[in-house]
Amino acid sequence: MKTELEIVKEGYRADVAETLAAIGGKLTGGMLAEQDGESVDVRLDGKSIGRVPLINLEGIVTLGWDIACSPSLLGACAQRGIV
C-alpha cells in the first residue's frame, strides 16, 4: 500500500508534494493562507510552514472555523479557477 506522500508525488513535483504532506494537504485551525507572488504561503503562529505555487493547485481545502485566507489569495484563486 502506498503512503499519502507517494500518492501525492505521482501527480506533483516532489518539492510540492513534500510541502503538501508537511501541512497535511489541507488547512486546519489557526492557519493563515496568503498570496506571496505566484505562491500560497501557509502560516501558523506567524511563521511560514509551507509554500505551494498557485500553478500547482486545483483547490484549497479548509477545515475549522479559525482559518484565514487573505483577500489577495482569494482573488488570485478566482482568476485562475482554483476552487
CATH code: domain of residue 13? 3.100.10.20
- Residue 18: the pLDDT is 60
Q: Which amino acid is at 53?
A: P
Residues 6+ apart with CB under 8 A from 8: 17, 20, 21, 25
Domain count, the chain: 1
Residue 68's domain comprises 4-80
> How long a stretch of residues is the chain?
83
Tens-place pLDDT, residues 18-64: 655 555 556 667 788 899 999 998 888 888 878 888 888 888 877 77
